[in-house]
Amino acid sequence: MFKQVTIIGPGLLGASLVLAIRKKHLAEKIVVWARSDKSAQDALDQLPVDRVEKNPSASVEGSNFVILCTPVETINSILSSIVGELKQGCLVTDVGSVKGRVCGEASDLFKNRNACFIGSHPMAGSEKSGMAHASENLFLNRPCIITPEDEESSEQIKVLKLFWEKLGMQNIIMTPEIHDRQLSEISHLPHLISSTLAHSLSEKTDDARSMCGQGLRDTVRIAGGSPELWTGIIQQNQANVLSSLEKFQTSMEKVRSYISQNNFDGLREFLETGANFQKEINK
């Protein structure tokens, strides 16, 4: 599909992309950019790559497709450093969980350039991070949100869609703004709630360890995600996240008052609404 692909950042997603691209034969050559000596060496030792570079500009030389897989707050500065080095017609995307700021700044940066940026958000993370947990199947049967701005060429959007499809993903197209509003509710809020639950129980670790059932374990699973990465995500989606939290707090206040006022019919209906939602999203 591509002569040469560059993966910027061989973490969980970047390293999994290397494995999946190789498995599906989507590129003749794969170049990886890694920031530290250690991860550069690990990428060389553990991943089926052709070249590892420590300079972002050098890593994109000759590539037709570049995927940024670094934390969201680093994407725009890396884009600035590579935009002048991109090959004619190169397609650039990222895998960040927040799209508004990244796509907005990229749109200015790529104006009148011979390359094109379109944001992606393959929803295929894990609470585990790092190259060691990479899997060629990470993307299988997961949704991928593609967030083009109006100006991007529809040809390049087609290429990007085809790429994610070949990794087994279901594409959804929306604007960066709608993406961030939706993800705030269905991803960033759940992460914060899972973390808040874990935080509120953190003094009970020993009791919880011996007595906890699978329920607690599942409910706090995503709280195990990288605090560093998630701080960046919440920071970039601050306004949406605050309004999602407010909605959650309204529901919380409702259930608390049902319980404290002995309104157990109200509680049952409340739990039913939640149970129906759980069943619907698992249909």
Residue 89 Cβ, how far from its own copies at the closest point, in Å?
31
How many other CB atoms are there within 10 angstroms of residue 131's CB atom? 20
Residue 199 found at the interface with its own copies (CB under 8 A): yes
Token couple for 147 = 């967030």
Alpha-carbon span 155 to 160, nearest angstrom: 9
Residue 189 found at the interface with its own copies (CB under 8 A): yes
Alpha-carbon span 195 to 225, nearest angstrom: 9
Q: Which residue has the tokens 């991070």?
A: 129
Residue 12 Cβ, how far from its own copies at the closest point, in Å?
14
Query: Closest Cα to residue 166, out of 158, 156, 174?
Result: 158
Which range touches its own copies (CB under 8 A), out of 37-45, 53-61, 148-156, 194-202?
Answer: 194-202
Residue 208 found at the interface with its own copies (CB under 8 A): yes
Residue 13 Cβ, how far from its own copies at the closest point, in Å?
13
Residue 10 Cβ, how far from its own copies at the closest point, in Å?
22
Question: Amino acid identity of 50?
Answer: D
Residue 44 found at the interface with its own copies (CB under 8 A): no
Query: Closest Cα to residue 156, out of 68, 91, 108?
Result: 91
Residue 217 found at the interface with its own copies (CB under 8 A): yes
Residue 248 found at the interface with its own copies (CB under 8 A): yes
Question: Amino acid identity of 46?
Answer: Q
Measured from the CB atom, the residue of 108 and 213 that comes closer to its own copies is 213
Residue 16 Cβ, how far from its own copies at the closest point, in Å?
14
Measured from the CB atom, the residue of 75 and 223 that comes closer to its own copies is 223
**Mode of pairing for the β-strands spanning 91-94 and 143-147:** unpaired
**Mode of pairing for the β-strands spanning 2-8 and 51-53:** unpaired
Binders of its own copies in range 116-175 (CB under 8 A):
123-125, 127, 142-143, 145, 172
Decide: 126 and 191 in contact? Cβ < 8 Å.
Answer: no
Binders of its own copies in range 260-279 (CB under 8 A):
260, 262, 264, 267-279
